[in-house]
């Protein structure tokens, strides 16, 4: 299956290449890359370019130009303006805590534009593995419910089209991003999402330091936001989206206008 436009390669070799290009001003001849990264020296430029082209296929972060030169094409996510950026706030339900052994059973997403929720994407997923009883007790999602649900691979393209190049947002984003990328990697071998992300746990810790804790229900209570269907992807994602809209307003009141500043600021 060909890679999708908003996927990049999840590869140590690719990362080494990116760092090598950064260290050399963002541009290098293909032969130099073949020599230093692929460890294949003394190739002519044309053949070196063929080898490198195969390495960077489907990864928009690196361009191979007609003169056999590689050039970095890294987006500067930190410069994205909060007021102008599209966000996808999402949540996942899973069979356990650690992918790839644990799988996703549900995903819920809400799209935010201009500070408003404008669209949604939600589906159960067949994890192709039994759901542990304690997970079913927590989420209410049972093996019977997901038996006829689509596989992640069957909804992957629709999901990626919905996400587009938006900034991803989640409560404890590292967890949800990890599961999303594990499922992406199963469907598009060796790939992960290119999208940058923000975490509402981290933002709420900075913006609301006096809260007893920064669990989803605690932050939601602070903003008087009800959570319908707690521990279901759609309900938790909707609450997180409403929380994020409030956090965006708080950031703007503090004069924080871009993604980079939102990540780095301290109260």
Query: Is 222 tagged catalytic?
Result: no
Q: Which of 242, 240, 265 is nearest to 254 (CA)?
A: 265
CA distance 34 to 37: 6
77, 217, 222, 231: the catalytic one is 231
Secondary structure element (H or E) that encloses residue 168, with its range: strand 167-170
Among 94, 232, 90, which Cα is nearest to 167's? 90
**Residues of the chain by 3-state class (helix, strand, coil), percent to 5:** 40, 20, 40
Q: Alpha-carbon distance 124 to 164, whole Å?
A: 21
Residue labelled with tokens 């069979």? 95
Residues 48, 33: contact at Cβ < 8 Å? yes
* Bridging pattern class, strands 87-94 and 167-170: parallel
The answer to whether 233 and 92 are in contact (CB under 8 A) is yes
Answer yes or no: are the C-beta atoms of 156 and 187 closer than 8 Å.
yes
Q: How far is CA 228 from CA 120, 170, 237, in A?
A: 15, 17, 10
CA dihedral (175, 75, 60, 31) positive or negative: negative
Active site residues: 231
């Amino acid at each position: 299956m060909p890679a999708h436009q908003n996927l990049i390669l999840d590869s140590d070799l690719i990362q080494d290449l990116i760092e090598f290009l950064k260290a050399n001003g963002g541009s290098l001849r293909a032969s130099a890359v073949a020599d230093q990264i692929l460890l294949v020296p003394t190739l002519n430029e044309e053949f070196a370019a063929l080898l490198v082209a195969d390495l960077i296929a489907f990864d928009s972060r690196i361009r191979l130009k007609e003169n056999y030169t590689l050039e970095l094409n890294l987006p500067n996510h930190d410069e994205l303006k909060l007021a102008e950026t599209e966000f996808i706030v999402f949540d996942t339900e899973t069979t356990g805590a650690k992918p790839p052994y644990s799988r996703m059973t549900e995903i819920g997403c809400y799209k935010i534009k201009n500070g408003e929720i404008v669209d949604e994407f939600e589906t159960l997923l067949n994890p192709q593995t039994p759901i542990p009883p304690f997970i079913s007790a927590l989420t209410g999602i049972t093996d019977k419910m997901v038996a006829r649900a689509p596989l992640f691979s069957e909804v992957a393209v629709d999901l990626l089209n919905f996400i587009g190049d938006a900034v991803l947002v989640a409560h404890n984003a590292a967890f949800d991003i990890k599961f999303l990328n594990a499922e992406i990697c199963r469907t598009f071998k060796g790939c992960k999402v290119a999208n940058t992300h923000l975490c509402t746990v981290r933002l709420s810790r900075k913006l609301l330091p006096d809260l007893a804790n920064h669990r989803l229900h605690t932050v939601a209570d602070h903003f008087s936001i009800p959570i319908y269907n707690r521990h279901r992807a759609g309900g938790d994602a909707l609450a997180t989206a409403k929380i994020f809209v409030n956090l965006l307003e708080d950031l703007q009141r503090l004069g924080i206008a871009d993604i980079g500043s939102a990540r780095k600021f301290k109260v």
